[in-house]
Structure 1
């Protein structure tokens, strides 16, 4: 059945993903991960197709997408900046650092700057507890982040 808001090529790729997961026990999460890998996010137009294919409600699919913070319903920025929110980093200033970042970007958590350069996300432990506050820029972990280092990170990322 055609879906107006998905381009034919997107619908073809979605159908391929669904076919690859046929017969899998509990396929919803693997399907969602595969879609996000393919498209960079979970397009809203995919939700009814997934629901129909798995014979589950659209609300169930939407609930899973919205429950897990790593699933995105819109494309992420060119750079994803994650700030650790775990206790060890909080104890050395991560809360204030997060407030600075959100204020500088004019965003809430999971938001993306209007120019599409930066998406800001909270993360709960990057494994740099002794070097907090910690952040991750794309796939690079950065320790001992202070306001000046944060400003450099955001500026270099294009914010």
Structure 2
């Protein structure tokens, strides 16, 4: 199960600044440190908040636009903390050809969420992804980091029960 967001317990921008600066200190010696820093910030805070971007940019001598571009390009980085469980549905062509559109619509209805949304009670976040590398077992999904192949409506129902329990 993913770690619960520490950002919710963060009381101030100064505390976020301190934590982000500490993460940059730990990773700035690496060659190409931006991605490891973004991953570490998300692991620590549960997301990559907007206020972290200028800190990272300044410390790495990059523009804020460069840091934002990388953080927004990769689907794993989010601006808001995710729910306790994350369900990702593959939307790539191979999965679409095997019924992923139908499965995605069923998932949105079952979870009562659109892609990119988190349930009000914080239990689950529903996300679209574009290829999980499980094309031979399409349609595919990922639940809390574990890939699931040959997903159909019944499997979505079972996943919904598991994450809501």
Instruction: Tell me the TM-score normalized by structure 1.
Output: 0.82
Aligned with 1:79 (options 75, 82, 85): 85
- Flag the 1:5–1:61 CA change in 2: closer, same or farther, 3 A: farther
Alpha-carbon distance in 2 for matches of 1:48, 1:20: 17
8 Å Cα contact 1:76/1:119 also seen in 2: yes
Where structure 2 has 5 or more consecutive residues not aligned to the other structure, the ranges are 1-10
1:54–1:153 CA distance, 2 compared to 1 (3 A)? same
CA RMSD of aligned residues (A): 2.3
* Structure 2 residue aligned with 1:54: 60
Indicate conservation of the 8 Å contact 2:28/2:60, yes or no.
Answer: no
Q: What is residue 136 of structure 1 aligned with on the other side?
A: 142
Which of residues 132, 141, 146 is equivalent to 2:152? Answer: 146
TM-score (normalised: structure 2): 0.80
Measured after TM superposition, the shift of residue 144 of structure 1 is: 2.2
Deviates more, 1:111-120 or 1:132-141: 132-141
Describe the SS at the equivalent of 2:118.
Answer: coil
Q: Which residue of 1 aligns with 2:110?
A: 104
Name the counterpart of 2:13: 6
User: Structure 1: which 5+ residue stretches go unaligned?
Assistant: none
Deviation at 1:61?
Answer: 2.0
1:91 has 2:97 as partner: yes
Deviation string, structure 1 residues 104-126 (Cα, Å, up to 9, x no partner): 33433222111111111223333
**Whole-Å Cα distance in 1 between the matches of residues 34 and 91 of structure 2?**
28
> What's the offset of the Cα at 1:5?
4.0
Partner of 2:76: 70
Q: CA deviation at 1:150?
A: 0.6
How many residues in Structure 1 have an aligned counterpart in Structure 2? 155
Per the alignment, in what secondary structure is the counterpart of residue 45 of structure 1?
A: helix
